[in-house]
Amino acid sequence: MKRTKKTIVSVALATSLALSISSTYTAAAPATQASASQAYNAVDKKVLNKINVDNIYNDIEYLAKTPRVAGTAAEHKAAWYIQKKLKSFGYKANVEPFTFVGYTEASKVELSADGTSYSPSAFTYSINGNVSAEVVDAGLGTKEELTNQDLTGKIALIQRGSISFGEKVLNAAEKGAKAVIIYNNADGELNGTLGGANDGYVPAVALPKAEGEQLLEKIKAGNLTATVNIEGAEVSERISYNVTATKSPTEKKRNTDDIIVIGAHHDSVEGAPGANDDASGTAMVIELARVLKSLPTDTELRFVTFGAEELGLIGSQEYVDGLSHDEKDRIVGMFNLDMVGSRDAGDLVLKTADGKANFVTKLAQASSLRLNGAATPYSEGGRSDHVPFAEAGIPAALFIHDPAEPWYHTPEDSIDKISKEKLQDVAEIVGTAVYDRARPDHTGPKTQKGKPFKAPELYYQQDLK
């Protein structure tokens, strides 16, 4: 990227400007002001000169040839590739395995009753089974409601609402039910999950509201027999990986003992090549590892790509759980790069789990202000790997373009939708923000520890309740 303006304002001024900017998105200065206040400094230049956006683009192209679902051969191949790239820069990179309980969706889901075929879907984590039995009305399937009901050998028909799908299935199974049908309490599709594997489950299917009510009418009219059939579902222990590389401070005498983590997730959802989500962040972590390798630093830098983010932030949670108390204390910032290159998404924003500014947002607002004349705004947001760090009291922020592109989690999340300009912009902001703190003679904002904090329930694409 070409920069003609060479105005240098002090880092301190840029920083104080950044700090005075509030958390609303509208706080960012309009683009027209950008050139007037562009003021990256000589230190930034060391980073900017080294960033090569084609490296990022090419790695995205390689990684996004196929989906990289956690626990599959494609994810493993991606992990080895990332390790190989990090090693090629001179890092001692590690591929760190962890296990998780994975689920393969059912290939066949059927429900027939009284000669009629219905249109059920299986709940994620339901077990397989072929059950023919009498259908009985089990209300909302709460423990209280079922106290005096014997469901032995029956199929329980339960309405959605008040408690989770998983609890309904367990309650009915405890009362002897052989299968469970849960019908919606509102119009629209019911795309549900039982939340996790459990030995107590029986086969469970979801039905639209109208079909559930039809079954209820038939029960009221007399005995109703149905067949529930679920095939091809599989719960099994699987292996995913985090890939890590560490740069120790080069200035041993000035070692701050602090650590900065730059992370992204390398897995994708099923069916999506995940060029933007999140080969973009992964490739940017790789490029920043290359750029920062040759620069003098007083702070330890850790480059990490996480597995199984899409299944519930599993890899980043594993990583955080594996940190010693001392390490958690020493990590002053976690930069989470997730969806940082879509041509069709909105502007760059920062998301923190508690919605508050922290050391990472301060560094990034200061660098974006120096580089572009406008501080990247921040607001509250979870849904990615910064959350487990934030919960451990580590200042962390997600870098993402908002609103998300329409291709998010679809087969269209492919390399042709990736913008080199967007990649360049984010790599510059993150690279210079990190180096603003990791350079041996750093000034800038003071490190500031976060407080351990409990994020509200993880956001899942499927309904739990």
Query: Residue numbers of the site for ligand BES (CB under 6 A)?
Result: 277-278, 309-310, 312-313, 338-339, 383-384, 400, 404, 408, 458-461
Nearest distance in Å: CB 123, ligand BES: 17
- Give 338 or 436: the residue with its C-beta nearer to ligand BES: 338
Q: How many contiguous H segments (helices) and E segments (strands) does the chain have?
A: 14, 16
- Give 211 or 338: the residue with its C-beta nearer to ligand BES: 338
- Give 400 or 434: the residue with its C-beta nearer to ligand BES: 400
Q: What is the dihedral of CA 30, 32, 37, 43, to 10 degrees?
A: 80
Tokens coding 219:
């029960």
Nearest distance in Å: CB 460, ligand BES: 6
Nearest distance in Å: CB 276, Zn ion: 8
Q: Which does 383 bind (CB under 5 to 8 A by kind): Zn ion, ligand BES, none?
A: ligand BES
Nearest distance in Å: CB 119, ligand BES: 25
- Give 14 or 398: the residue with its C-beta nearer to ligand BES: 398
Nearest distance in Å: CB 417, ligand BES: 14
- Give 310 or 428: the residue with its C-beta nearer to ligand BES: 310
Residues in the chain: 465
- Give 396 or 400: the residue with its C-beta nearer to ligand BES: 400
Nearest distance in Å: CB 17, ligand BES: 27
Nearest distance in Å: CB 383, Zn ion: 8
Q: Which does 313 bind (CB under 5 to 8 A by kind): ligand BES, Zn ion, none?
A: ligand BES
> Helix, strand or coil for residue 337?
strand
Q: Which does 62 bind (CB under 5 to 8 A by kind): ligand BES, Zn ion, none?
A: none
Q: Please state the three-class secondary structure of 108-173 as a single string.
A: EEEEEECCEECCCEECECCCCEEEEEEEEECCCCCHHHHCCCCCCCCEEEEECECECHHHHHHHHH
Q: Please name the helix (run of DSSP H) or strand (run of DSSP E) that holds residue 255, with its range, or none.
A: none
Q: Which does 404 bind (CB under 5 to 8 A by kind): ligand BES, Zn ion, none?
A: ligand BES
Nearest distance in Å: CB 347, ligand BES: 13
Q: Which does 458 bind (CB under 5 to 8 A by kind): Zn ion, ligand BES, none?
A: ligand BES
Q: Which does 459 bind (CB under 5 to 8 A by kind): Zn ion, ligand BES, none?
A: ligand BES
Nearest distance in Å: CB 138, ligand BES: 30
Q: Which does 413 bind (CB under 5 to 8 A by kind): ligand BES, Zn ion, none?
A: none
Q: Which does 19 bind (CB under 5 to 8 A by kind): ligand BES, Zn ion, none?
A: none
Q: What is the dihedral of CA 332, 266, 349, 462, to 10 degrees?
A: -110
Q: In what order do the strands lie in the sheet with 234-247?
A: 94-104, 234-247, 300-306, 259-265, 331-337, 396-402, 347-352, 378-380
Write the DSSP string, 39-71. ---HHHHHHHTT--HHHHHHHHHHHTTS---TT
- Give 300 or 338: the residue with its C-beta nearer to Zn ion: 338
**Residue numbers at the binding site for Zn ion (CB under 5 A):** 277-278, 338
- Give 184 or 276: the residue with its C-beta nearer to Zn ion: 276
Q: How far apart are CA 147 and CA 330, in angstroms?
A: 52
Q: CB pairs under 8 A, 24+ apart, for 114-121?
A: 114/218, 114/224, 114/225, 114/226, 118/207, 118/211, 118/215, 119/207, 119/208, 119/211, 120/181, 120/205, 120/206, 120/207, 120/228, 121/189, 121/190, 121/191, 121/192, 121/205, 121/206
Q: Which does 95 bind (CB under 5 to 8 A by kind): Zn ion, ligand BES, none?
A: none
Q: Which does 211 bind (CB under 5 to 8 A by kind): Zn ion, ligand BES, none?
A: none
- Give 207 or 339: the residue with its C-beta nearer to ligand BES: 339
Nearest of 404, 379, 97, 455 to residue 280 by alpha carbon: 404
Nearest residue to the partner ligand BES, using Cβ:
383
Q: How far apart are CA 239 and CA 98, in angstroms?
A: 6
- Give 245 or 339: the residue with its C-beta nearer to ligand BES: 339
Q: From residue 284, how far is each of 140, 244, 376 by CA, in Å? A: 48, 14, 18
Nearest distance in Å: CB 314, ligand BES: 9
Say if residue 20 is exposed, middle or buried (CB neighbours under 10 Å; 0-12, 13-18, 19+).
Answer: exposed
Do you find a cis peptide bond into 278, omega within 30 degrees of 0? Answer: yes
